């Protein structure tokens, strides 16, 4: 079950596929190459119901009073106090989805309805100078009886659509959470789910220790599929984000299959990515979000180059100047690359200024 929907800054286009609700949380999937919206072409005469939620791109706070329009139908609805809206009896087909709200950049783009389901989208505030700084949320989860560390525990802050999974040491780390008091859910197969209230303070780290009690379940045997994975990519959440489906992900297996000579060779054929050659030895990557000059540094004029994050640290802020990733490191040093062609799906910790121009996250081998 999918929808295609587009998100970007003023007058820009993006396209994504969106599935139905998964475990009560709307999950956005695969970012694809976009195009301008066309007139609606209904795939058949079946009508469906869709739900959506609109949040602030910076703070992830739900936005009320957003005007959500479907063109060329002339159909409009408004989000409620939780940022939610619902449209019933919508014909399957292709529409232009337009979002408008005072204080935010207009969002417009192609939206293809194939089945019923739900999705989450965001809007970029016109003035991000006053955005709240974030706090860090870390912790360790253990078995309540043995005290042993629990890996693969799902940690969710539903109010801001953020989550994580504990590593083998039972630890999780959310480095950029908007300040506030939240209900945090902790769940793992075979254990009773816990919901605790945690306060995140701007510029500070909130560290928790959680003990989970056993809740035995009778379950069927599971099928185990063995997949080659880099340990560093497991630890940094690469595979978890890939499973969610935002952006494009290139792991070590794909890198070796491509046999690249330079870093920029890895971006050839990637949806939403374009190689810009200034000379045979000087090439840069331009992503879909930067083709319309949507970065804060560019002032909205000309191309805007993506932000580059190396092993969790920003090494290039993006904007008017291209990142020289061919001179930064070689393909044989790379464990994996995450490519977010626009602001859609960019992890909160890598967002901020010029994220709308796209973000490239590179993880090196250990």
pLDDT band at 278 (very low <50, low <70, confident <90, very high): confident
Quote the mean pLDDT of the chain.
Answer: 79
Instruction: List, in order, residues 6 or more apart from 259 with CB less than 8 Å away.
Output: none
Q: Among all chains, which residue has been given the structure tokens 């992503």?
A: 287
Percent of the chain at pLDDT > 70 equals 79
Whether the predicted pLDDT of 196 surpasses 80: yes
Closest CA to 194 of 247, 139, 274, 264: 139
Q: Which residues pair with 282 in a beta bridge?
A: 279
CA-nearest of 141, 345, 153, 167 to 241 is: 345
Structure-token pair, residue 363? 């993880």
Q: Give the lowest-confidence range in 15-29, 190-204, 262-276, 304-318.
A: 15-29
65-100 pLDDT tens trace: 999 999 888 899 999 988 899 999 888 888 888 999
Identify the burial level of 258 via C-beta atoms within 10 angstroms of its C-beta, where 0-12 means exposed, 13-18 middle and 19 or more buried: middle
* Structural tokens at position 276: 């810009």
pLDDT of residue 300: 44
Go through the domains of the chain in sequence order and give each one's CATH number.
3-123 (2.60.40.10), 135-212 (2.60.40.1120), 231-364 (2.170.130.10)
Contact 57, 131 (CB under 8 A): no
pLDDT reading at 9 higher than 80: no
72: cis peptide before it, omega within 30°?
A: yes
Residues 101-128: tens digit of each pLDDT:
988 889 888 888 888 888 888 888 876 5
Q: Give the pLDDT of residue 224.
A: 52
Task: Measure the CA–CA gap between 4 and 341, rounded to whole angstroms.
Answer: 16
Task: Give the pLDDT of residue 42.
Answer: 38
Report the alpha-carbon distance of residue 311 to residue 335 in Å, rounded.
Answer: 10
Instruction: Report the candidate in 47, 37, 28 with the shortest Cα–Cα distance to residue 69.
Output: 37
Bridge partners of residue 67, in order along the sequence:
78, 100
For residues 166 and 230, which has the higher predicted lDDT (pLDDT)? 166
The pLDDT score that the predictor gives to residue 201 is: 83
Cα separations (Å) of 66 from 51, 84, 295, 315, 348?
14, 9, 23, 35, 22
Confidence of residue 292 (pLDDT cuts 50, 70, 90): low
What percent of the chain shows pLDDT beyond 90?
29
pLDDT band, very low/low/confident/very high, at 8 (cuts 50, 70, 90): very low
The model's pLDDT over 265-274, given as tens digits with 9 standing for 90+, comes to 999 989 989 9
Mean pLDDT along residues 154-161: 89
């Amino acid at each position: 079950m999918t929808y295609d929907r587009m998100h970007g800054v003023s007058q820009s286009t993006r396209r994504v596929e969106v599935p139905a609700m998964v475990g009560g949380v709307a999950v956005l999937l695969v970012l694809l190459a976009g195009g301008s919206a066309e007139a609606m072409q209904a795939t058949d005469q079946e009508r469906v119901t869709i739900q959506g939620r609109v949040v602030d791109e910076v703070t992830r706070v739900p936005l009320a009073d957003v005007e959500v329009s479907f063109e060329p139908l002339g159909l409009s609805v408004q989000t409620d106090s939780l940022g939610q809206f619902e449209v019933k009896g919508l014909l399957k087909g292709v529409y232009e989805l337009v979002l408008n709200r005072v204080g935010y950049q207009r969002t417009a783009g192609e939206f293809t309805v194939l089945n019923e389901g739900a999705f989450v989208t965001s809007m970029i505030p016109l003035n991000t100078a006053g955005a709240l700084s974030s706090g860090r949320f870390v912790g360790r989860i253990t078995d309540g009886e043995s005290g042993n560390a629990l890996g693969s525990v799902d940690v969710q802050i539903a109010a801001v659509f953020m989550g994580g999974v504990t590593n083998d040491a039972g630890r999780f780390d959310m480095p950029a959470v908007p300040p506030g008091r939240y209900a945090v859910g902790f769940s793992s197969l075979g254990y009773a789910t816990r919901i605790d209230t945690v306060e995140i303070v701007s510029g500070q780290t909130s560290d928790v220790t959680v003990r989970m009690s056993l809740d035995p379940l009778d379950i069927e045997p599971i099928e185990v599929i063995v997949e080659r994975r880099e340990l560093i990519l497991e630890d940094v959440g690469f595979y978890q984000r890939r499973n969610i489906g935002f952006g494009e992900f290139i792991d070590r297996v794909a890198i070796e299959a491509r046999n690249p000579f330079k870093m920029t060779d890895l971006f050839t054929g990637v949806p939403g990515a374009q190689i810009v050659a200034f000379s045979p030895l000087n090439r840069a990557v331009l992503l879909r979000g930067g083709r319309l000059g949507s970065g804060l540094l560019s002032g909205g004029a000309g191309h805007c180059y993506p932000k580059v994050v190396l092993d969790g640290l920003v090494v290039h802020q993006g904007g008017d100047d291209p990142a020289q990733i061919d001179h930064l490191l070689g393909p044989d040093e790379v464990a994996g690359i995450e490519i977010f062609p626009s602001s859609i799906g960019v992890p909160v910790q890598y967002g901020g200024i010029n994220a709308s121009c796209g973000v490239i996250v590179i993880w090196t081998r250990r």
